[in-house]
Amino acid sequence: MLNYEIVVIGGGPAGLAAAIEAKKNGAKEILVLERDLELGGILQQCIHNGFGLHVFKEELTGPEYAERFIQELKDMGIEYKLDTMVLEVSDEKMITAMNREEGILNIRAKAVILSMGCRERTRGAIRIPGTRPAGVMTAGTAQRFVNMEGYMTGKRVLILGSGDIGLIMARRLTLEGAEVLGVSELMPFSGGLNRNIVQCLEDFDIPLYLQHTVVDIEGKDRVEAVTIAKVDERYKPIKGTEKRFECDTLLLSVGLIPENELSKSAGIELDNITAGPRVNEAMETSVEGIFACGNVVHVHDLVDWVTEESRKAGKNAARYVSGELKNTASKISVQGVNGVRYVVPQEIRPENLRGKTEFMMRVDAVYQNVKLVAKSGEEILKSVKRRHVAPGEMENLVLDFGEMDPKSIKNLTIELVQEEGA
């Protein structure tokens, strides 16, 4: 039996930031468990730039961003185990893990930080008709093949889904000599960041087919052709609008799902919308002493926000271990309404709020000239203007509870209000 104050599950950007921050806040025995052969998580395959503008005030590539945290973690002497798979986490904070050198490991932790990230939705998750040849893969799989393992994934490529990884891979494969025939998006707008639409599609004249989906895949051993069709407002394909592309590869960039098998094994309550653990202002889950951060909680579009959220989790895990974090009976729910799909954290304990608290949220559609309005009961706490909001761009709102009497805070809602005369 091994004993640690804090065990961090997952050594990607969330786990690294959480472990470092926990150490900075006084936690001594910290262990990071990582299943891959190196730390850094998905950042190691995200070789494009655009990371770190908020955290480091400079533009870094994924591996550079990861390396700074890995170096800091090592410099601080934080322990980690690579090539180690966590099999189970119990609600008593007992962790079962295994690796080739040590076999089965039983670890007891005072606090656990869940930072397992997310995984990509696959063909099976969206039920695409057609044959089942090789050449249909997720965009992230292709990214790892091309950027880390040195395999080219195809010569003529069609991409389904305009999420960021799909857009990034459209550019990457084009630069590597493949012909990217187009990107098909089910929704009337792209789910990716604007910068990626501009830099990855427009720069290379790759067409974006909005309101289109794949209706057929042909090929026996390898993909030979993919057919897309326009969809109606109920997302049903419209007959007669089919376009057939001869290609050898179909990449899927159709969403990410927080990876919560371990959260479930610990009996943690999950949110229906985010598919991640419901958390409070301390990034603590429904099980006391188990914290969660990063893409396992909700899918972020910027790693900088993952870092910020994870620092919060790490700091609070350290406070929990030292007995500073108050678990109080009064809990207040935070809800997204009228156009706000979800808000993280989903719950706050007013007694633990110290001054400014950040809320992260996503809207349900593209809106122009709106206000994000936060209310405590009927009282408006804050209202901020937004010229443009979209589901692909996470919004945040900082509320200052510094002056407020904790007892006066009622159930919080955050909503969108259309600006008058806009």
147 binds other proteins (CB under 8 A): yes
| Contact flag: residue 50 with other proteins (CB under 8 A) | yes
Near other proteins by CB under 8 A, which window of 110-118, 122-130, 195-203, 322-330? 195-203
Find tokens 């550079």 and name the residue: 64
With beta carbons less than 8 A apart as the criterion, state whether 318 and 25 touch: yes
List the structure tokens of 162: 């305009």
Does 75 sit near other proteins (CB under 8 A)? no
> How far apart (Å, rounded) are the C-alpha atoms in residues 294 and 81?
20
37 contacts other proteins (rule: CB under 8 A): yes
Q: How far apart are CA 402 and CA 377, in angstroms?
A: 18
From the CB of 141, what's the least distance to other proteins, in Å? Answer: 15
Residue 417 CB burial class (10 angstroms; 0-12, 13-18, ≥19): middle
Asked if 194 touches other proteins (CB under 8 A), the answer is yes
Binding letters toward other proteins, positions 297-326, x by CB under 8 A: ----xx------------------------
Query: Residue 155's closest CA among 123, 181, 185?
Result: 181
CA pair distance 286, 267, nearest whole angstrom: 8
Minimum distance between the CB of residue 277 and other proteins, rounded to whole angstroms? Answer: 26
Does 327 bind other proteins (CB under 8 A)? Our answer is no
Out of 175, 365, 380, 398, point to the residue binding other proteins (CB under 8 A).
175
Q: Please state at what angle helix 13-24 crosses helix 303-321, rounded to 10 degrees.
A: 40
CB-nearer residue toward other proteins: 158 or 302: 302
- Asked if residues 66 and 78 have their Cβ atoms less than 8 Å apart, the reply is no
Q: Please report whether residue 66 would count as binding other proteins according to CB under 8 A.
A: yes
CA distance 283 to 82: 25
396 binds other proteins (CB under 8 A): no
Applying CB under 8 A, does 388 fall inside the site for other proteins?
yes
Nearer to other proteins, 153 or 413 (CB): 153
Cα four-point dihedral sign 11, 13, 16, 21: negative
Whether 280 and 331 have beta carbons less than 8 Å apart is answered as yes
Q: Does 67 bind other proteins (CB under 8 A)?
A: yes
Binds other proteins by CB under 8 A, chosen from 88, 176, 179, 288: 176
Indicate the residue among 148 and 238 with the shorter CB distance to other proteins.
148
CB of 361 to other proteins, least distance (A): 16
The size of the chain, in residues, is 422
> Where on the chain is the footprint of other proteins (CB under 8 A)?
37-38, 44, 47-50, 53, 59-64, 66-67, 146-150, 175-176, 193-195, 197-199, 203, 301-302, 387-388, 393
